Structure 1
């Protein structure tokens, strides 16, 4: 894992939306990480090493998930994020409170959305067969991410 190229913005999908320049958003793909097996990247119908799995709840090697999360945070220029475990419910949490309570890659809080009005607080939502819903007020002072 020491010879990995850094994750780049080209490895991710960025929304084309008209929001404040204070707000950044990205969506990862399966590619650009270190996960293997069923959590690996897909090429020509086969799972290969290099998957970008971010979920500790999936059964993936926790060390791979930690590395993938660190790669994503490095790309975003952040050190911590509000990692959630989506449960298909209605719970919404404040990202800054989640970050303060469980920094790093510890077991995430069970919720389906996070919001914040704190600059630098990162809202994360993980999706596989569902869609992310990204929210922002017109001035970029409050943002949110929800699992649909």
Structure 2
């Protein structure tokens, strides 16, 4: 049955429910004043899923193999994209691919030896962050004034 207003008693479609004064008109078929309003709502849902795995060895801190293939939202493209990453520490391989779903077009492709994949994530240089800190930022100060630099007086 399609959307619309129907007589609740005989299910006859009612085209005009009220007159100009706002008074409900009786059903032309059975004379009843009860109405049923039917409204249909249709939504479409698209589900995306992904997979991921890590292979670990006993007494080895990092996984020897990490791999995932999952949806990731691209803010620049305003859509979900397929994100594939493989990190193989035993074979020294790094692979990362980003592409739109249902397309062979590559938005991003990086395939190189893992040892040469630097400047990303945990491979970023720790030296730069250490250089940003100053030793004086970490010098402890005592509240009572004791332990100040030698030769400096705590009195004005």
Give the TM bin, normalised by the shorter chain.
under 0.3
Higher relative contact order (CA 8 A, sep 6+): 1
Higher fraction of strand: 2
- Greater radius of gyration (CA): 2
Q: Normalising by the residue count of structure 1, what TM-score does the alignment of the two structures yield? A: 0.21
Q: Normalising by the residue count of structure 2, what TM-score does the alignment of the two structures yield? A: 0.20
